[in-house]
Structure 1
Amino acid sequence: MFKHCLVGAAALLIVAGAQAEDYSPTYTQCMDKASSTLAMGACIQAETQLQDDRLNRVYKQLMAKLDSQQQKDLREVQRTWMKYRDGNCAFHGKLSNGSIYRIEGAMCEMDMSKDRAAELERVLSPGQ
């Protein structure tokens, strides 16, 4: 039983480490120095822009590799995903009037964009 717990914990650490690597070093440094929610918000905003640029870049690369039907399908899925991301993150940001919820909403958008970019990268280059 203990052995299974150790294996599970190790797997979680590996996944967490891999996810953290998708953030820019600038973001990590910025958040380490942030001493207010305003400063955190600026870090998140800058990283969100980087992740959005990454997502747009990989989306365009993937579109260039697909046939016309696959392009149509990806375009439709991407629009649906964006609508979900925006609604989901707006919900998180409006749970309360407190500044921490605005940070949560902003982090939601950043995280979902990062995850979607990584997902499309895996589709673009399977097995890497």
Structure 2
Amino acid sequence: MKKWLPVAALFASSLALAQQHPIDQQLQQCLDRESSTAGMSQCYSTATQAWDKEMNAQYTGLMKTLTGEPKDKLRQAQRAWLTYRDSWRDASVSYFSRTQGSVAALNIGAGQVSLVRNQALTLQSLRKGGCTNPDDC
């Protein structure tokens, strides 16, 4: 029985990777290849740009389906979120730069990816009509 544990673990990790969004897969592959802080920072930057593009696509698609008050409310919410994102980035840069030295860039980059990824997935769940799975929200 114990000899199957490594095979089961490998299968489970492969399944988890297969269920990841392609942007997350590319980010993980990039991080696995890089060994320098600068290289890993570039991985995060590339992933943030990709998630930003995905977020904009989800927002644009959703806006095309809405009219009237719901459309106005979504526009207001997205503008407020963009202000929040920028404020959070500024706060993260200020905090991490003073407390973590060269590792700060990695934490700032990971935080940026997370913020934009979550917003893209939230907009995607709205386009789908709701959150059928709590992880989709």
In the superposition, the TM-score normalised over structure 2's length comes to: 0.73
Distance in 2 (CA, whole Å) between partners of 1:79 and 1:37 is: 32
Match of 1:35 in 2: 35
Stretches of structure 2 that go unaligned for 5 or more consecutive residues are: 1-15
Match of 1:21 in 2: 20
Match of 1:80 in 2: 80
1:36, distance to aligned residue in structure 2 (A): 1.1
Number of aligned positions between the proteins: 111
Mapping for residues 22-101 of structure 1, pairs under 5 Å: 22=21, 23-95=23-95, 96-97=97-98, 98-101=101-104
Distance in 1 (CA, whole Å) between partners of 2:102 and 2:57 is: 32
Distance in 2 (CA, whole Å) between partners of 1:45 and 1:67 is: 34
| Per-residue Cα deviation, 1:39-67 (whole angstroms, up to 9, x for no partner) | 01110111111100000000000000111
C-alpha contact (below 8 Å) 1:94/1:102 kept by paired residues: no
* Aligned residue identity for 2:60: K
* Aligned residue identity for 1:87: S
1:102, distance to aligned residue in structure 2 (A): 2.5
Match of 2:118 in 1: 115
| Per-residue Cα deviation, 1:6-53 (whole angstroms, up to 9, x for no partner) | xxxxxxxxxxx59x8234322111001111110011101111111000
In the superposition, the TM-score normalised over structure 1's length comes to: 0.78
Match of 2:12 in 1: none
Distance in 2 (CA, whole Å) between partners of 1:82 and 1:99 is: 27
Distance in 2 (CA, whole Å) between partners of 1:49 and 1:124 is: 21
Stretches of structure 1 that go unaligned for 5 or more consecutive residues are: 1-16
Larger radius of gyration: 2
* Aligned residue identity for 2:86: D
Q: Deviation above 4 Å: which 4+ runs of structure 1?
A: none
Distance in 2 (CA, whole Å) between partners of 1:86 and 1:106 is: 13
Distance in 2 (CA, whole Å) between partners of 1:63 and 1:89 is: 26
